[in-house]
Amino acid sequence: MEREAPLGVRERLDRPPVELGLRSIIYAFAVFLTLYTIYYAYTLFWVRVRFANVFLGVGVALFYLVQLLEKHVAKRSGDGLVAETDDTESSLFEHGPWKALDVVMLLAGAVVALALAGYVEFNFARLLEDAPIFGWTTTDYYVGVAAMVLVTDATRRAYGNVIAGVVVAGIAYAFAGPYLPGVLYHTGMDWQQVARNGAIGLTGVYGFILEVGTTAVAIFLMFAGMAKAYGLMDLVLNLSREVRNVLETGVVQVAVVGSMIMGSITGSAAANTATTGSFTIPMIKDQGVREDFACAIESVASSGGQMLPPIMGVAAFLMADILGIPYLEVVKAGLFPALLFYFSVGAAVHLIIHKFDWTTDAEGTFDKSILLDGIHYVIPLGVLLYTLVVLRFSPLSAGFYTIVALVPSALLKRLIDAYRGDDEPVEVAVDFTVTTFDGLRQGAVDMAPLVGILASLGIVITMVEQTGLGARISFRMLALAGGILVVLLLLAMATSILFGLGMPTPAAYIVVAALVAPALTTSETFTIQPLTAHMFVFYFAMLSAITPPVAVAVAVGARIADSDFLQSCKQALRIGAPGFVIPFAFVANDGIIVWSSSTPIDLLVVLAGTVAVVVATVGYDGASDLGWPHRIVYLVIAGGAMFGPQMVQLGTAGLLMLTLALANTGRLPAVVTPSRQ
């Protein structure tokens, strides 16, 4: 799908007055929110919860205004805000009473969001210090209820009824506890307790999830928005076209890499499939790849991107805060599992492309000048790595210095291009300034839908903690496992996939971290380290995006690829199959997560097992199609390499390499299947 060129200043002003006014307000709110975040990262002038309150008010108001623009006002999408109407005249009330009601609700939501933030800010000292001792006022309770309703509605509008229903169910559960049986029973709460715990006590809505989201998560999404404004997506697209000229697998591998990198930033497998997939899936299909495989490749890559450090779909920051460990430890723990998954997807795609003969001639040349177009990204990425790994700054501070490095780097690149093209310096300066402010706007607009769900998830977690549901679920899972680790892990896998269905990355991780992870860490029978347990449930929550019956990433990709949903799910499970095994492997070989002297051996044997799983699920070893007897042999080898005693692991890893070497030299007989489906 061809992307629209950004609108010029004159074209932006050539709009109906209502649309122009609304866009101007959105622009002002968005730029303020990004600059407010950057300034806070530099000064830390308030405690985090106070900063988060203002961010929540402006962020939710911005989200409602963007919804109003996109659903009822906008007529063009050149600045990244996509219109849904095709009308030629701008009128807010031309579509009947329901549309008019929605307009009123959106405007009211924006006003209420700002009013709530103002109330909490004005009464902040009292709510933080005096109210827990002397009590809350009736107005406080009403404000708490209003905050909970507001963020739940914002969540519904951004992510649908299912996720909003989880929030509503959490609140309802707080009331209904005395009437529920068995593990669900608790003594119950009245409405004042729900309002206090859910919001106005500066917990719930204003809890640690919102605090992390509005600081560490926001600064990186805003960096991503600015990078996109400076041409990051265009660079990825151009690189994809060039690599297609020199790789037999063509553009497919580049699409995998690009989707995983961008997926790490977006925080939603479905959203990433929709954005990057809108141009990668057509390019993959143009190479001759069948529709269901094109959908599956993009869906799996976008889902895998959520596991990729340093951002991990913004879950890395939440994980560090929940576990109370340095952020860098989470990045280290996530590195090798992500590389294993990354490698498995790349290997599966490579084998599939050759198996079905979807290769390209690869007789062209790679235009190295394309790399120079992205040279200015090297400096901010270097700053990011240096501040996180060497200086061990917090993610918020590292994100600040990364943005500070990005702007002059991009400006220098523009000036060099202008010098080569004989452009006027004044014109370049004006264009760069407009682009920079567009980037400030884009980062905040990308962050705005996430604000509501982070706040509403705080409600869910608070209700789970206050009612003791998490502890009871953990106890019941341990009882069902009967002291057998494999059974416990299978129960945790199934539960994580169930709770993760349809949710964006932060939401899915928060839910499984509260309800499932404790079962893996509280048992005296098993010795699973907390970081390993959280990585385990996190992986399966992410894989729910390609798991039927919901498989939200596949559903989005299937619409773009025009493929059958269930057939696409089948291929996605085939390509992503190693991802369902890797979490079990790093529990059995936890040197992959917690680095130690055993890490190199653990990584080697799990890598060998991953290769064996890929060959078995694809049914191709690089030389010939494999029948089920050969596939089963590879699965046995995978099991031995990943889960056997160390000598068995090393032996089967060696056997795998020998088997593949013999197969690709034609010395190993294979059972060739007659059908390639």
CA angle 494, 495, 498 (to 5 degrees): 85
Closest CA to 197 of 186, 213, 182, 183: 186
Q: Is 250 helix (H, G, I), strand (E, B) or coil?
A: coil
DSSP 207: S
Q: What is the dihedral of CA 656, 659, 660, 662, to 10 degrees?
A: 160
CB 220 within 8 A of CB 314: yes
Q: Tell me the β-bridge partners of 625.
A: 620
- The whole-angstrom separation of Cα 383 and Cα 461 is 35
pLDDT of residue 667: 52
Tokens of 566: 């269930």
CB 487 within 8 A of CB 481: yes
pLDDT of residue 502: 65
Q: How many CB atoms lie within 10 A of CB 371?
A: 14
- The whole-angstrom separation of Cα 13 and Cα 413 is 28
Q: Is 625 helix (H, G, I), strand (E, B) or coil?
A: strand
Handedness of CA 563, 564, 565, 567 (dihedral sign): negative
pLDDT of residue 114: 97
With a pLDDT cut of 70, the percent of the chain lying above it is 90
- The whole-angstrom separation of Cα 159 and Cα 556 is 13
Exposed/middle/buried for 670, CB within 10 Å: 0-12, 13-18, 19+? middle
Positions in the chain short of pLDDT 70:
1-14, 75-96, 265-267, 362-363, 422-423, 501-502, 663-677
Instruction: Give the amino acid at 657.
Output: M
pLDDT of residue 363: 66
